[in-house]
Structure 1
Amino acid sequence: MDNKPFSTVEGKGFLQLMKEVCPLYKVPCRETIKNRIDEKYEAMSDLFKTYIKNADNYCITYDIWTETMQTKSFVGITIHFLDKSQLLSGTLGVFELTEHHTSLYITEKLTDIFSEWNISIEKVSAVITDNDSTVMKVNRDMFGEKKIIPCFAHTINLVVTKSIDDANNCTELISKVRDIVKYIKKSVNASDELWKRQMETGSKGQVKKIILDVRTRWNSCLYMLERFLELVSIVGAILLTRPEAPPMVSSSELECVKEMVGLLRPFEKVTKEISGDSYVTVSKVIPLISCVRDAVENMKPRNEIIVQFKNEIKKQLARRFDNIEHSAILAISTTLDPRFKFMQVFGHTPLLRTFSVEEKLINKINK
């Protein structure tokens, strides 16, 4: 349950704890614990295979990644289906890939895994993956074009990262903030001073650390900028006393950062909304895109740099989502979702603009 290694049961501290709690109990060795877990897994997996076999349809998601420390590649697969009216989800496993990631090899690997879990390709109603070209070819070959749903969160990530990359001035500004963050994180003295100055200003119990972004997670860039804005006065004071520190952002650049954060926040809300695992999310894709477009359109940045950034975002949204209502799965899911029978509000933007959107979806479905 806590994802501890098997060797925990042989640790001196754990054995001492068990001796105090239950002196007469003999703690099993790591091999015994491992065998018991394997037996439990076999029993649970057999039960889950029965659920899968009895399901009328299911949705498959999978992703491929490389573990950089050991340079090993893996594919992780999950399955989602209804048992009567209850939504069930399960991780089929994480499997190592030992050959070059060709579409043929990935198809063979998935076929073997599906066979092991009694998964019928005909019962797969949808498959969700990232937008990688090789993965998309696998999806088309195995499931057919109409069953493919590109991962919405991954596509949103591409919209934001590509917009930042194409807006050169924004990239430079983010790099400037990133250099400052890196400097403070690497400097023990600067980090200590950041902590002390927060304590002096009455932030006891609420001392905050600077955040460094991660390239593959666009929202980490937002978190970095938001935290930088929160601590900007203290960070500026720290940099002024250190000649070797990177240059501080100017007041006009600071205004750009604030406006940039305002443009990115709607994407963060959408990413969190679509990341639920205990409720249906596919029907929210079209309404959420409508929300994002409205939110971006309603923002009126004053700085030319952010105006360019806004235009890049609009361009990427159009490129990746202009035909989203043509997806039968998404359109039907949204139209039939009872949550959208009445208007709901996402911030100040209607989740569906008007009933005419539903009419439009129905017309497209009929066509």
Structure 2
Amino acid sequence: MEDHLKKHHVRCYAHKLNLIVRDALKNSCELVELIAKVKSVATDATNLGRQQGKLIQDVETRWNSTLHMLRRYEEEHTAVTGALRALSKTIKSLTDEEVERIRAAIEVLTPFELATKEASTEKHTSVSKLLPIVRQIQEKLSGESPSALRDQLQAELRRRFGSLEDNFTLGAATLLHP
């Protein structure tokens, strides 16, 4: 775009948000293990025929499916643990500490989910939304308790959206948006 048409090109920021979270989830070793454990419990509980409040499996290419899986497990933790114990299954449920880590991960990931939804609400998302949305995510993360996931997300945000405020086109679009 810039070389041939002499037009400034702004990449899809919903896609960038997806890459940020996907990479952060992959690089957070402790969370990778926790996600695998939730996925295993979800698979085993589903195989046991648990229908009400059915647990969700994540899809590797969609980071938000991982968030939905963690959310549903957190909601159903007590019921799943009770069902596994009642059936005397050798499936290990998650500890209270692990459920707390899930809650913390959900809290950190929620702003990215909201931003992704906002970026996807219109057929042609306005570039004027980019600066405020990224700024709000950065502020929300700064207020969160330190964690490996939070640190990974902040690093990925800096790497992919590092100098947004220096971009005249984005600043002008944000300022001029009605």
- TM-score between the two structures when normalised by the length of structure 1: 0.46
What is the aligned partner in structure 2 of residue 216 from structure 1?
Answer: 61
Q: Does 1:263 align with 2:108?
A: yes
Could you say which residue in structure 1 is the equivalent of 2:89? 243
Alpha-carbon shift at residue 320 of structure 1 (Å):
0.8
**Mapping of 1:353-364 within 5 angstroms?**
none
Query: Which among 56, 63, 72 is matched to residue 227 of structure 1?
Result: 72
What is the alpha-carbon distance in structure 2 between the residues aligned to residue 175 and residue 141 of structure 1? 44
Q: 2:44 aligns with which of 152, 174, 183?
A: 183
Structure 1 residue 172: Cα displacement: 0.6
Identity of aligned pairs, percent? 30
The answer as to 2:175 corresponding to 1:335 is: yes
Counterpart residue number, 1:161: 22
Higher helix share: 2
Matches of 2:167 and 2:36 in 1, distance apart?
38
Which of 143, 153, 162 is equivalent to 1:322?
162
Distance 1:142 1:179, change over 3 A: farther
Letter in 1 for 2:164: I
Partner residue, 1:281: 126
* Other-structure match for 2:11: 150
> Structure 1 CA distance, aligned partners of 2:4 and 2:72?
45
Ranges in structure 1 where 5+ consecutive residues have no aligned partner: 1-138, 196-206, 302-306, 339-367
For residue 162 of structure 1, what is the amino acid of its counterpart? D
Q: 1:309 aligns with which of 131, 142, 149?
A: 149
Distance (whole Å) between structure 1 residues aligned to residue 22 and residue 158 of structure 2: 15
Greater C-alpha Rg: 1
TM-aligned CA deviation for residue 165 of structure 1: 1.3
Say which SS state the counterpart of residue 149 (structure 1) adopts.
coil
**TM-score normalised according to structure 2 size:** 0.90
| 1:160 counterpart letter in structure 2 | V
- Give the SS at the match of 2:10: strand
Structure 1 consecutive aligned stretches of length 4 or more whose deviation exceeds 3 Å = 139-144
Kindly indicate whether structure 1 or structure 2 has the higher relative contact order, using CA contacts under 8 Å at least 6 residues apart. Answer: 2
Aligned to 2:97: 252
Q: Give deviations 1:140-192, integer Å, cap 9, x for gaps.
A: 56545x5221111111111111111111011111111011112223x1xx22x
Cα offset for 1:229?
0.8
One-letter amino acid of the structure 2 residue matched with residue 323 of structure 1: S
* Residue 272 (str. 1) matches residue 123 (str. 2): no
Unaligned runs of 5+ in 2: none
Q: Distance in 1 between matches of 2:29 and 2:56?
A: 22
> Cα RMSD (Å) of the superposition?
1.9
Q: CA deviation at 1:249?
A: 1.0
Distance 1:215 1:141 in 2: 35
Distance 1:316 1:279 in 2: 25
